[in-house]
Amino acid sequence: MLQAGPGRDDCLALILSGGGARAAYQVGVMAAIAELTPQHTPNPFPIICGTSAGAINALALATHAGNLHSAVESMLEVWSEFRSHHVMRTDWPGLLAQAWRWSRTNLLGSAAGEATTALLDNRPLRRLLEARMRFGCIEEALQAGQLRAISVSAFDYRSSQSVYFYQGRERITPWRRHRRIGVQTRLGLDHLMASTAIPLLFPPVLLNRAWYGDGAVRQQSPLSPALHLGANKVLVIGVTHHGQTPAAGQPGPVLQTPAPPSLAQLGGHLLHSTFIDNLETDLEQLERMNRLAAYQPFAMRSGDHGVRHVDVLVISPSEPVDLIAARHRAALPAGLRLFLRGSGATRSSGSDLLSYLLFEAEYCNELIALGRRDALAQADDLRRFLGFAETGAGTTHGQL
12, 47 in Cβ contact below 8 A? yes
**Helix ranges, the chain (H):** 24-35, 53-62, 68-79, 92-106, 123-132, 136-143, 189-195, 224-228, 263-272, 278-293, 321-327, 334-341, 351-357, 361-377, 379-386
> Per the residue annotation, which of 52, 84, 343, 355 is the catalytic one?
52
Please count the CA atoms within 13 angstroms of the CA of 343 that sit on its side-chain side.
Answer: 19
∠ Cα 317 286 383 (to 5°): 55
> Per the residue annotation, which of 121, 156, 214, 282 is the catalytic one?
214
Residue 285, Cβ neighbours under 10 Å: how many? 12
Q: Active site includes 52?
A: yes
Helix, strand, coil percentages (3-state) for the chain, rounded to 5, are: 45, 15, 45
User: Residue 302 contacts by C-beta under 8 Å, 6 or more apart in sequence?
Assistant: 7, 8
Q: DSSP letters of 122-166?
A: -HHHHHHHHHH--THHHHHHHHTTS-SEEEEEEEETTTTEEEEEE
Q: Active site includes 121?
A: no
- In this structure, what are the phi and psi dihedrals at residue 50, rounded to the nearest 5 degrees? -130, 150
Active site positions, annotated:
52, 214
